[in-house]
A and B are shown apart, each in its own frame.
Chain A
Amino acid sequence: MSFASDARAPADSLFRRNLRAFAANRLAFGSAIVVLIFVVMAVFAPWIAPHDPAATDLFRRLQPPAWMEGGDWAFPLGCDALGRDILSRIIYGARISIFIGVAVILVATVVGILAGLAAGYLRGWVDIVISRIVDILLGFPYLIFAIGLMAMMGPGLANIILVMAYKEWVIPCRVVRGETLAVRELEYVEAARAVGASDRHIMLREILPNILSPVLVVATIRMADVIILEAALSFLGLGVQPPTASWGAMVADGRAFILESWWVSTFPGVAILLLVLAINVASQGLRDAFDPRFSE
Chain B
Amino acid sequence: MSRPLLQVRGLRTVFDTRAGRVCAVDGVDVTVEPGECLGVVGESGSGKSVTFASVMGLIRPPGRIEAGEILFDGVDLRQLSRRQMQAVRGRDIAMTMQDALTALNPALTVGTQIAEMLEAHDDELPRGGPARARAIRARAVEMLGLVGIPSPDDRLKQYPHEFSGGMRQRIMIAIALASKPRLLIADEPTTALDVTIQAQVLELIDDIRARLGMSVVLITHDLGVVAQHCDRVIVMYAGQVVEEGPTAAVIGSPRHPYTRGLLASIPRPALRGQPIRPIEGQVPELIDLPPQCRFHARCPEAGPDCLRPIEMRRVGPGRQVRCIRTPAEAGP
* Interface pick from A3-11, A58-66, A244-252: A3-11
B285 touches A7 (CB 8 A): yes
Q: Say whether A5 contacts B22, CB under 8 Å.
A: yes
Interface status of B24 (Cβ within 8 A of chain A): yes
Instruction: Give the chain B neighbours of A191 by CB distance below 8 A.
Output: none
Interface residue ranges of A1-37 to B (CB < 8 Å): 1, 3-8, 10
Please tell me if B30 contacts chain A, counting CB pairs below 8 Å. no
Whether the pair A3, B24 counts as a contact (CB closer than 8 A) is: yes
Interface size on B (CB < 8 Å)? 20
Q: In whole Å, how far is A82's beta carbon from the nearest beta carbon of chain B?
A: 58
Q: What's the Cα separation between A8 and B286 when bound, in Å?
A: 10
A11 to chain B, nearest CB (A): 11
**CA–CA, A8 and B62, complex, Å:** 16
Contact in complex: A8, B53 (CB < 8 Å): no
Q: How far is B286's CA from A118's CA once the two chains are assembled, in angstroms? A: 45
Is A5 in contact with B62, judged by CB distance below 8 angstroms? no
What B residues does A8 contact at CB under 8 A? 285
Q: Identify which of B50, B58, B59, B97 contacts A5 (C-beta below 8 A).
A: B50
The answer to whether A4 and B58 touch across the interface, beta carbons within 8 angstroms, is no
Min C-beta distance of B271 to chain A, whole Å: 30
Q: Is the CB of A4 within 8 A of B19?
A: no
- The docked-state distance in angstroms from the alpha carbon of A6 to that of B238 is 12
A5 contact set on B, CB distance < 8 A: 15, 22, 24, 45, 47, 50, 286
Residues of chain A with a CB closer than 8 A to B58's CB: 1, 3
Minimum distance in angstroms from A91 CB to a CB of chain B: 42
Q: Are A7 and B49 in contact (CB under 8 A)?
A: no
- CB contacts under 8 Å to A, within B275-316, are 285-287
Of B17, B20, B49, B285, which contacts A3 at CB under 8 A?
A: B49
> Which residues of chain A come closer than 8 Å to B286, judged between CB atoms?
5, 7
Collect the chain B residues with CB atoms within 8 Å of residue A7's CB.
Answer: 15, 17, 19-20, 22, 285-287
Q: Contact flags (1/0) for B153-179 with A, using CB distance below 8 Å?
A: 000000000000000000000000000
Partner of B50 from the list A3, A6, A10 (CB cut-off 8 Å) is A3
- A6 in contact with B44 (CB, 8 Å): yes
Q: Look across to chain A and name the residue whose beta carbon is closest to the beta carbon of B59.
A: A3
* Sample of 22 A–B contacts (CB below 8 Å): A1-B58, A1-B97, A3-B15, A3-B50, A3-B53, A3-B58, A4-B22, A4-B62, A4-B63, A5-B15, A5-B24, A5-B45, A5-B50, A5-B286, A7-B15, A7-B17, A7-B19, A7-B22, A7-B285, A7-B286, A7-B287, A10-B19
A interface residues with partner B (beta carbon < 8 Å): 1, 3-8, 10
Q: A3-B24, A5-B24 are in contact. List 15 more A-B contacts (CB 8 A).
A: A1-B97, A3-B49, A3-B50, A4-B15, A4-B17, A4-B62, A5-B15, A5-B47, A5-B50, A5-B286, A7-B19, A7-B20, A7-B286, A8-B285, A10-B19
